[in-house]
Amino acid sequence: MNRFSTWLFTGVAFSVWLTAALTAAGQAPAEKPALAEDVFKNIRVLRGLPVDEFMGTMGVFSAALGMSCEDCHSSSDETWANYALDTSPRKAAARRMVTMMATINQATFGGRQVVTCYTCHRGSARPKVTPSLAALYSPTTFEEQEDLVRPAAGGPSAEQILDKYIQAAGGAERLAAVTSFTARGASTGYGPEGTRPIEIAAKAPAQRTTTIHTLDGDHTTVFDGGAGWISAPHRPVAVLGLTGSELDGLRLEAELSFPARIKGALGQWRAGAPSEIDDRAVQVVQGSRPNGVLATFYFDSETGLLTRLVRYATSKVGRLPTQIDYADYRDVNGVKVPFKYKVTWLDGLESVELSEVRLNAPVDAAKFAKPSPPRP
Residue of 249, 210, 247 whose CA lies nearest to 231: 210
For residue 33, say if its preceding peptide bond is cis, omega within 30 degrees of 0. no
Separation of alpha carbons 57 and 314, rounded Å = 9
Which pLDDT does position 31 carry in this prediction? Answer: 67
Contact 212, 197 (CB under 8 A): yes
pLDDT in tens, the chain (376 residues): 433 333 333 333 333 343 333 333 444 455 678 898 988 888 999 999 888 888 888 888 888 888 888 888 876 555 566 788 887 888 888 899 999 999 999 999 999 999 999 888 888 888 888 877 777 777 655 566 788 899 998 899 999 999 999 999 999 999 999 988 999 999 998 656 689 999 998 888 768 888 999 988 999 988 888 899 999 998 888 999 988 888 887 778 777 777 888 898 898 999 999 999 999 999 999 999 877 789 999 999 999 999 999 999 888 888 889 999 999 999 999 999 999 999 998 878 899 999 999 999 999 999 999 999 988 7
Domains and CATH numbers, the chain: 36-129 (1.10.468.10)
**What is the pTM assigned to this prediction?**
0.82
**185 half-sphere exposure, CB direction, 13 A CA radius:** 22
Separation of alpha carbons 186 and 191, rounded Å = 13
Separation of alpha carbons 16 and 113, rounded Å = 28
Number of helices (H), then strands (E), in the chain: 10, 14
Amino acid making up residue 186: A
Burial 143-182 (b: 16+ CB within 10 A, else e): eeeeeebeeeeeebebeebbbbbbebbbeeeebebbebbb
Which pLDDT does position 15 carry in this prediction? Answer: 37
